[in-house]
Structure 1
């Protein structure tokens, strides 16, 4: 199906372009959300008549998104979750959790604006990309930790998942012989 784009769509085209897309994508996403019109003679004339208002609305949305991006620039958000000693979370941090933390900080971000391809499953500092507008995106830092104190230590660069941090062992001082003795019998006794 050919459609006329009413706004810039990533990996598809710019506003005003006529592009060919799959029927389902047009019927289920582009047309219902008002992002495109069917490409026929009547809609082409309608688009040309409304082009200036659409461009003005798009420019306004972009400027609002840039203001939000400026406020988010350099911010770090803390998410406290239960985790094992190795840093593996009991559960995961999904886009919904990121949205809740952003909402608590006063930012109204939609679920479809959070680019989190895989859920976060370990403690640490993670960068999450937010698509605020088709032309404005920003990466925010999400600090996943077991407590607020650990989050503060992580933000200073301290690793909470290494053997030194967990067990008080210097990883550089460990040798393979410390773990495996080739002269030992299967019952653990030396021959």
Structure 2
């Protein structure tokens, strides 16, 4: 089955790549989860749009990644959360929450898939969260959870 990826799939490809996979994998996993669309001649024109959007968001060089890491090291973002009397959160802080908090604080635009949380953030306090910026560059941002 010939498909066009619309999202990054580990060990398969990036958005905009044309891949050939077994019918069952494409029909039962990639298409229902909207990781891919069926390949047609008309869909080939969408590849250019997907690749342009990916290039606009992507950190291309190691120097750019180092620059973004320098910006992130200075950031300490606060995320207001609902918590109990003991300081435990009702739920956990998600990568999307962290990306939104960095954006609101005036930081660089990040992708939620680049956020690496070692263990779930479920308590009030300051936590260090990893951000994969490039294959060889990883930054950290300080995240402080505060009760509403």
CA–CA separation in structure 2 for the residues paired with 1:88 and 1:110: 27
Q: Deviations over 1:102-158 (max 9, x none)?
A: 1222421112210013321110110101111111111111000114xxxxxxxxxxx
| C-alpha distance in structure 1 between counterparts of 2:72 and 2:13, whole Å | 30
Deviation, structure 1 residue 86 = 0.7
Aligned Cα RMSD in Å?
Answer: 2.0
SS at 2:10 equivalent: helix
Residue ranges of structure 2 left out of the alignment (5+ in a row): 1-8, 16-58
Match of 2:68 in 1: 68
Partner secondary structure for residue 133 of structure 1:
coil
- Write the distance in 1 (CA, Å) between the matches of 2:76 and 2:140: 10
Task: Give the Cα–Cα distance (whole angstroms) in 2 for the partners of residues 86 and 146 of structure 1.
Answer: 11
- Residue 81 to residue 30, structure 1, CA distance change in 2 (3 Å): same
Matches within 5 A, 1:62-141: 62-104=62-104, 105-141=106-142
**Residue 33 (structure 1) aligned with residue 14 (structure 2):** yes
Equivalenced residues, count: 96
CA contact (8 A) 2:71 2:107 kept: no
For 2:87 and 2:131, how far apart are their aligned partners in 1? 25
Give the Å deviation of 1:71.
1.2
Q: Give 1:84 shift.
A: 1.0
Please state which structure has a larger fraction of its residues in strand.
2
In the alignment, the residues of structure 2 paired with residue 113 and residue 119 of structure 1 have an alpha-carbon distance, to the nearest angstrom, of 15
Aligned equivalents of 1:30 and 1:103: distance in 2?
A: 30
Query: Unaligned 5+ residue runs, structure 1?
Result: 1-27, 35-58, 148-191
Question: Quick one: structure 1 residues 97 and 60, their matched pair in 2 at CA, closer, same or farther if it must change by over 3 Å?
Answer: closer
Shift of 1:72: 1.3
